């Protein structure tokens, strides 16, 4: 396929490179030339403009920071693509913006998918991402071969916007479970319980979860995780906060009770305010006592 890839940052760059390595003709574009050159070093051809990338493309993939930028890019590019082109947005944005992007694409005669990802930069580089996909069966079928290159799993969650809905529900739960994991290990420490012993219990008992089994926030316990690399992300806490805020916006719009999600959002707001970017979300284990008292 001829693929236009708009947004070549930490996630988009490796995804585009994997598509290029697999034999697709990928033309990438990013406003940041330094970021674009990093993608070029990985084998991605660069277009001089977003418009130039889209010309003649079978699929237009975007990986962008927020819903407003996605909608702006769609307004810019939809009129330039051939009818029936698949617009595949892999950004994590609010459900309302995703639905609006689908409506714009439909009006322009395009197929469209919202397909946010899970798996972080490591997953993007290794081609092991999970895609949560919203959109028509026709669009999903055309994009499925690309999901198989960029990831290890794609779940068609439903109509337009369903992918974003699945992503924010998943990550709200992830944040809650990471905080719960941190609480359990901090309590164990104050009870003089060996943390490796606690890991062996929890990972094979009813408390078992991904935050313990795969991504334990305690250095030297369980499989290697950001905790063993001084909490370098991984999944940056600022991105977790972004997803939590999206979940709370959705909860407010749908009158859904998410008290633990709301508290997790509050704690991560304080954590990110203290540390800024560049810290994995699991590092909250080191600040829970202080954050809870703040």
In terms of Cβ atoms closer than 10 Å to its own Cβ (0-12, 13-18, 19+), residue 204 is exposed
pLDDT in tens, 116-172: 999 888 899 999 999 999 999 999 999 999 999 999 999 999 999 999 999 999 999
How confident is the prediction for the chain on average, in pLDDT?
96
* pLDDT score, position 132: 98
Which residue of the set 2, 42, 83, 167 is catalytic? 167
pLDDT in tens, 93-110: 999 999 999 999 999 999
For 167, the token pair is 């992503």
pLDDT in tens, 80-96: 999 999 999 999 999 99
For residue 195, indicate whether it is catalytic.
no
Main-chain phi, psi angles of 207, to 5 degrees: -85, 0
CATH dotted code for 2-158: 3.40.50.720
* pLDDT score, position 292: 79
* pLDDT score, position 161: 97
Q: What is the pTM of this model?
A: 0.92
The domain limits of the chain are: 2-158, 165-292
The span from the CA of 60 to the CA of 58, in Å, is 7
pLDDT in tens, 25-71: 999 999 999 999 999 999 899 999 999 999 999 999 999 999 999 99
Contact (Cβ atoms closer than 8 angstroms) between residue 44 and residue 100: no
The DSSP-derived string for 84-134 is T-EEEE-S---HHHHHHHHHHHHHTT-EEEE--EESHHHHHHHT-EEEEEE
CATH dotted code for 165-292: 1.10.1040.10
Contact (Cβ atoms closer than 8 angstroms) between residue 244 and residue 261: yes
Residue 294: is its pLDDT beyond 80?
no
pLDDT above 70: percentage of residues in the chain: 100
């Amino acid at each position: 396929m001829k693929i236009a890839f708009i947004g070549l940052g930490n996630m988009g760059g490796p995804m585009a490179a994997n598509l290029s390595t697999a034999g697709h003709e990928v033309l990438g574009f990013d406003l940041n030339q330094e970021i674009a050159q990093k993608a070029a070093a990985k084998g991605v051809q660069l277009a001089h403009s977003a418009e130039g990338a889209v010309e003649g493309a079978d699929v237009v993939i975007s990986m962008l920071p927020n819903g407003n930028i996605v909608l702006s890019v769609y307004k810019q590019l939809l009129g330039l693509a051939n009818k029936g082109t698949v617009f595949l947005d892999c950004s994590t944005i609010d459900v309302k913006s995703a639905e609006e992007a689908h409506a714009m694409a439909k009006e322009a005669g395009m197929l469209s998918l919202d397909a946010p990802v899970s798996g972080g930069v490591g997953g993007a580089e290794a081609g092991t991402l999970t895609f949560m996909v919203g959109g028509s069966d026709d669009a999903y079928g055309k994009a499925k071969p690309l999901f198989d290159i960029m990831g290890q799993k794609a779940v068609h969650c439903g109509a337009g916007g369903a992918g974003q809905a699945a992503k924010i529900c998943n990550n709200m739960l992830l944040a809650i479970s990471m905080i719960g994991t941190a609480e359990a290990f901090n309590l164990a420490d104050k009870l003089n319980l060996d943390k490796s012993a606690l890991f062996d219990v929890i990972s094979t008992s009813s408390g078992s979860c991904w935050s313990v089994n795969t991504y334990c926030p305690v250095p030297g316990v369980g499989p290697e995780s950001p905790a063993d690399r001084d909490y370098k992300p991984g999944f940056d806490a600022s991105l977790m906060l972004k997803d939590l805020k999206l979940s709370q916006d959705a909860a407010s719009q749908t009158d859904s009770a998410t008290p633990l999600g709301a508290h997790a959002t509050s704690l991560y707001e304080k954590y990110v305010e203290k540390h800024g970017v560049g810290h994995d979300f699991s590092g909250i284990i080191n600040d829970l006592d202080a954050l809870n008292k703040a």
